[in-house]
Amino acid sequence: MRDKMKLKIGIYGLTSCYGCQLRMASIKDILEVSKNFDIVCWKMMSSKGEIEPCDIAFVEGSVTTEKDEEEVKMIREKSKVVVAMGSCAIHGGVQGSLFGEDYKKIFKEVYGENSIYYKARIGEPLKKYIKVDYNLPGCPPEENELVYYLATFGIGSYPEEKDYPVCAECRRNGYPCVLIEKNESCLGSLTVAGCNARCLAHNVACIGCRGPLPHNVAWFDSLALTFKDKKIDKEAIKKRMEIFGKQSGKIDEIVEKVFR
């Protein structure tokens, strides 16, 4: 009787490193957690891997081939809710950072005269092809956020996306500021929080792997002064933000606001 009440979950991967699915698989209590759901498809964990009707689809990876496009549209058709999981699915990811450049030219530089049998293109985020209901950021997402998304869906609620920057987590942890102290172009102030300032814990500047903030923050003016004071220019910040989030649609807007 209880099984009929379980949410049906699909976990899918388009073109990607499969790191988000691996992160999902390595949740500490995944076997316990998964008992609460009926997992109808999990591409990485099953040789069957067919797209099945489900309540929630978690999709990682970017649309990089014609097959990806067909798959993501089918996933949308068969799922009540679609979650873009990870930077590739949300913003196109690293493989989407070449968006706007000539695919054939880049292909030739990498593969020479070799050819491939499927129709490929530079990676694009899910939102360019289908309606996405929720974004679960990260490269890959953090375990606690994955569990939070599963748990909120599991109780019939919905997850709230964070709207504050990595700086907030960095300050809360009391890490030294690499921007102020080492003149490094840290993107923590422009990147959506959730990783608990993972890189700053190791004194390494944030490169924005979780993607740009969804909203502006109050300290953009003082941030611009700090960047200028440190001789970090607009183009350098933009280029860095584009590594993971080129197709977010927010980068130009944020950078212009910071450096206006």
**Residues making contact with ligand SF4 (CB under 6 A):** 16-17, 19-20, 60-61, 86-88, 93, 139-140, 166-167, 170-171, 175, 177-179, 186, 188-189, 191, 195, 197-200, 206-210
Q: Rank residues 10 and 208 by Cβ distance to ligand SF4 and give the closer one.
A: 208
Give the Cα separation of 162 and 77 in Å (integer): 27
Nearest distance, CB of residue 195 and ligand SF4, angstroms? 3
Give the Cα separation of 25 and 27 in Å (integer): 6
Q: Within the chain, where are the H helices?
A: 19-25, 30-34, 66-78, 87-91, 103-111, 143-154, 166-173, 178-182, 220-229, 234-245, 251-258
Residue 30 buriedness (CB in 10 A; 0-12 / 13-18 / 19+): middle
Q: Rank residues 153 and 211 by Cβ distance to ligand SF4 and give the closer one.
A: 211
Nearest distance, CB of residue 220 and ligand SF4, angstroms? 13
Q: What is the DSSP string of 133-166?
A: -EEE-SSS--HHHHHHHHHHHHTT--PPPP-SBH
Give the Cα separation of 235 and 228 in Å (integer): 12
Give the Cα separation of 27 and 39 in Å (integer): 15
Nearest distance, CB of residue 138 and ligand SF4, angstroms? 7
Closest residue to ligand SF4, judged by C-beta, is: 188
Nearest distance, CB of residue 212 and ligand SF4, angstroms? 10
Give the Cα separation of 44 and 61 in Å (integer): 12
Q: 208: closest CA among 151, 167, 148?
A: 167
Q: Rank residues 16 and 79 by Cβ distance to ligand SF4 and give the closer one.
A: 16
Q: Rank residues 83 and 195 by Cβ distance to ligand SF4 and give the closer one.
A: 195
Q: Rank residues 51 and 237 by Cβ distance to ligand SF4 and give the closer one.
A: 237
Q: Rank residues 56 and 59 by Cβ distance to ligand SF4 and give the closer one.
A: 59
Is the separation of the CB atoms in 210 and 139 below 8 Å?
Answer: yes
Nearest distance, CB of residue 10 and ligand SF4, angstroms? 16
Nearest distance, CB of residue 185 and ligand SF4, angstroms? 9
Q: Rank residues 46 and 222 by Cβ distance to ligand SF4 and give the closer one.
A: 222
Give the Cα separation of 193 and 49 in Å (integer): 32
Nearest distance, CB of residue 219 and ligand SF4, angstroms? 10
